[in-house]
Amino acid sequence: MPFYEWRRSKHESVPMAEKADFIALRLSPLRTQKAHTMQKQRVFSGIQPSGNLTVGNYLGALKNWVAIQKEYENYFCIVDLHAITVPQDPKILRQKIREVAAIYFAVGLDPEHCVIFRQSKVPEHTELAWLLNCIARFGELSRMTQFKDKTQKGGADSASAGLFDYPVLMAADVLLYNAHLVPVGDDQRQHLELMRTLARRFNHTYGETFVVPEAMIPPTGARVMGLDDPTMKMSKSSPAPAHYVAILDEPDTIRKKIRRAKTDSGSGITATDDKPAIRNLLDIYSAMSGKTISALEAEYEGKGYGDLKKDLGEVVVEGLAPIRTRALELLDDPGELDSILDSGAERAKKVASSILRDAQTKMGVD
């Protein structure tokens, strides 16, 4: 069957997909969508195709994207140009791009309600980035804390110019679609402020051109920390597999990772500041199951950490199973995945090219 047609097959456990209304992914142009989305605010967000998408990416971003996809005009991108600011194996990168796409669709993102595409297939992103480079300030980029964090080990002298400059490309990603809202975590707020500054500066210098985007605070979400270090946000690029639970991990691997997750001293199962590791496990449990933290604390009163980890492992396995199954099915037909991404890129270009031309005209380089 075409990969974008949903049906029950031999895999019967599909509650997550059904809940997300992942019934069909149609490739035909959506004429009726224009009428319905003209008054909707635009949302832009993206994920780099590096490392392995984790339960943190699911709970902190993807799950929320699915929840809002019918309420906004959405542009969800695979930001592969950001990925190459550090060295990548080309063969693995191509594989990871398709993997991210498959997960996007498997969690329930539907091309009827959002434009899903590869950043590198819309060259307007890099063209606008150069225009914005010419109004950005070196000092502004020098103050970006993420650049400082990422160059702590190797030093700034060994970092690529792309790594230093990628906040400008990130600004271009958003401003190119005149997005009103950008879902961001705490670690990206500084970059959002830079894109707001660049939009205002361009508008002041050349005339009203760009929407000044706002941060989008999701109605629900979880900041998932590392299983091996609850003081660090779970990273899909961590070299330590024990740090994260990947969406495509085997069920037994998930159970094993959670069973070995770091815990705190003492024995009480409470989400308190002196128990960051247990609080992280409870946050994941709550986000995956829908149970409140207080309800979980009551449920595990008098029980041990082993009981919590055993149950949490099953909750995570059950929650990710239909996503993993569907993603692997989609990856069996990479040609179809590439086709739907190309279709999304064509839709994105129609908006991006118009806004880029306006900016070029304002600057006198049309």
**Catalytic residue positions?**
150, 233, 236
User: Torsion-angle region of residue 217: left (phi > 0), alpha (psi -120 to 50) or beta?
Assistant: beta
Give burial (CB, 10 Å; 0-12/13-18/19+) of 145: exposed
* Whether 244 contacts 210, CB under 8 Å: no
Give burial (CB, 10 Å; 0-12/13-18/19+) of 338: middle
* Whether 125 contacts 173, CB under 8 Å: yes
Outline where DSSP puts E strands in 188-269.
214-216
**CA 186, chain centre distance (Å):** 14
For residue 187, what are the CA distances in angstroms to 9, 136, 191, 235? 41, 20, 8, 12
Residues 6 or more apart whose Cβ sits within 8 Å of residue 2: 336
